[in-house]
Amino acid sequence: MEQIQTIEIPIAGMDCTECTQHVQHAISGVSGVKKVDVFLSSEKAIVQLNPSIVKMADIRTAVKNAGYSVAAKDEETKTPNAALGEFSRRMFTAFGLAFGAVIIIVVLGEWLGLLDGLTKIIPFPVGVALVLLGGAPIFLNVIRATLNRQVIAHTLMSIGAIAALLVGEWTTAMVVIFFMHIGGYTERLTAEGARHAVKDLTAMAPQTARVEKDGEEKEIPITEVQLNDIVVVRPGEKIPVDGEVISGHAAVDQSSVTGESMPVEAGIGSQVRSATILKQGTLKVRTQAVGAQSMFGRVIKMVEEAEAHRADVQQFADKFSAYYLPVVAGIAALTFLISRNPLATAAVLLVACSCTIALATPIAMLATIGLNAKHGVLIKGGKYIETLARADVLLIDKTGTLTLGKPIVTDIVSLNGMDEHTLLSYSASADRYSEHPLAAALRRAASEREVSLHEITNFESIAGMGVRAVIEGKHISVGKHENTIPGQAKELEAQGKTVLFVSIDNSLAGFIAAADTLRHEVPEALQEAKRLGIKKVELLTGDNERTASSVAGALNISYRANLLPEDKIRIVKEYQSQGHIVVMAGDGINDAPALAQANVGIAMKAGTDIAIEAAHITLLREDWTLIPQVIAAAQRTMRVVKGNLGFTAAYNIIGLLLAAFGFLPPMLAAALQSIPDLGILGNSARLLKNQ
């Protein structure tokens, strides 16, 4: 069998999605590479390859030939063309400071017709040398891309600069080179704006831990912490690992992970998370997960890799960018054929802004994903932001989603002479390995009443139905009852309680009622969701008709009861077949299939790992107000994206028309080329302020 390995490779020099496409194309061309995902936000590539065929040197060479570089893990990411990056930045700074005033004079000189004297003072060969010196890093990058059969944004501008030299306009070419550097700087600035929220999140990760070994404490790098190590955390410090508290009591600020502003109490037996902050007290924590395996590490990984799930509008922009440059080249050729004006032709090449089109969507998406992660909402990709913004149906699970998921036992009714103590003991024992909130309620009730539990065998959990087990040779089942329901059980269900029927050897022995508490913020959150465009809200639950009716009636929503997991999938598909965009919110194993089937699945923090994995959005805080908040954020983001695309489209069309008809001089065309980047950055920055 072929061996496949997945590795992460840091990539230096990417400024836009066009860059990620070039890197992806380069690495994909290496023999033995199976799959490549390149991420602008985290500046890395995740590569699946056959290690017996692919060598790291091959990938480095491929990336270098594409005009980028592979940095060491501990190296600071550098700008494009690593070999010339530092020279390029220093040259640009010196060039800008020393000749900025001169350039302004040159531009004004062109408008006022004062360049004749300047061109006489500086010989043409000297001007050409200045252009070649200033443009060397850019020209080399264009040559490298051309050899790899790639057309990049600077290709057209370089042709424009060369065209200006060929007609004797070295001053124009010089200004073009200057503004090419300005454009490169603004593109880096814009890309950095997209990465900002993600990098802020990454910066929260602890770098060291104080580990206790043999009675001594030693601070070590987080990479050296092992499972089961005892980590000591003092007031004001970040908890560096996920683990269980074995000593101490403290208040923990979890806002960095969940967005929750109020500290929570942690004592012996409590679970604590990496990157949360100890406000008061001292804790000793037994390490259960560290680094990338911790909850915070998984959050960072999900945010970084969310870029792979691109929105349809982003995929359209990426495809459009691939065809845009050839179209511009065609317009330039047509301009020259009709007007025979080389300066107008050069202006067409100079004013084109392909990177701006490619950046219009990911800048906004990455800002929203990164910022929401800091607020306790994990979005797995831009495609789910775009879809959520158009959603009109919200389907909701009950237990643990609409309710707190911590029901309490309210009634125990035994039949056929069995006492309540024995009935609770059998039911709690049968449910001792179940993760369902009702099972936890049975175990809590047994503990509070000091009821001992039995050892069980042949445990079986049946999604949507309950559990089965063998206790002391008896076959015990706890859950739904398919036969006639006693009148007293119907009365309890009418009160909105969930009734669990306990059967022994297929004979009903009694039933236990439990009540869950509706989350206090749900009614207001649902009203806000409706205001944002959700036209239909429906409760989908495995509970009985009476319980479902009681909860749905309190919220003034429709409901469907007695559902199995496959029923929930069927209902999701039913709405989708009618053209609706469906959001499903749930938390349990039985919700996972419906979460995956929905256009957008939202999992609650308290849910199972299976539900969280299946969902497209995860709420790290058990707060229903986050649902309308993320819907509103998605809608704001799409307004910004559409604004970005509309602005760049209009800007490019107007610029190309003005240049083609000779109304835009090459110098001004070069100067205007970098403005859309700043426009997009400014427009997208509104997301960071509003969310």
Query: Known catalytic residues?
Result: 397
Return the bridge partners of 278, or none: 252
| Cα dihedral sign, 570-575-578-582 | negative
Strand partners, 39: 44
CB within 8 Å of 596: residues ≥ 6 apart: 614, 615
Measure the CA–CA gap between 341 and 38, rounded to whole angstroms: 41
CA–CA separation, 10 and 63 (whole Å): 11
Helix (H) or strand (E) holding 232: strand 230-233
Question: DSSP label at 292?
Answer: G
Cα end-to-end distance, the chain, whole Å: 49
Closest CA to 187 of 347, 357, 371, 381: 357
User: Nearest CA to 543 among 487, 588, 476?
Assistant: 588
Task: Give the single-character DSSP code of 579.
Answer: T
Identify any residues that bridge with 272 across adjacent strands, giving them in sequence order: 243
From the list 310, 303, 261, 198, the residue with the least C-alpha distance to 618 is: 303
| The two structure tokens encoding residue 610 | 């299976």
Q: Which helix (H) or strand (E) holds 509?
A: strand 507-515
Rounded alpha-carbon distances, angstroms, from residue 680 to 17, 199, 643, 657, 659: 14, 20, 9, 21, 22
Q: Would you state the structure tokens that stand for residue 461, as one six-digit string?
A: 């959990």
Query: Distance (Å, rounded) from C-alpha 348 to C-alpha 205?
Result: 47
How many CB atoms neighbour CB 432 within 10 A?
18
DSSP structure string for 436-496: SHHHHHHHHHHHHTTPPPPP-EEEEEETTTEEEEEETTEEEEEE---SPPPHHHHHHHHTT
Letter string b/e over residues 1-34, b meaning 16 or more CB atoms within 10 A of that residue's CB? eeeeeeeebbbbbbbbbbbbbbbbbbbeebeebe
In terms of C-beta density within 10 A (0-12 exposed, 13-18 middle, 19 or more buried), how is residue 643 classed?
middle
* Tokens standing for residue 302: 């999900």
Give helix 675-690 / helix 170-203 axis angle, nearest 10°. 20
Q: Tokens in use for 477?
A: 């089942």
Burial environment of residue 363 by CB neighbours within 10 A (0 to 12, 13 to 18, 19 or more): buried
Give the C-alpha distances (Å, rounded to integers) separating 506 from 182, 429, 460, 523: 79, 17, 15, 41
CA distance 527 to 531: 6
Whole-Å CA distances, 357 to 183, 308, 312, 544? 14, 18, 14, 53
Strand partners, 604: 619
Find out whether 183 and 674 touch, Cβ atoms under 8 Å.
yes
| Measured distance CA(516)–CA(407) in Å, rounded | 4
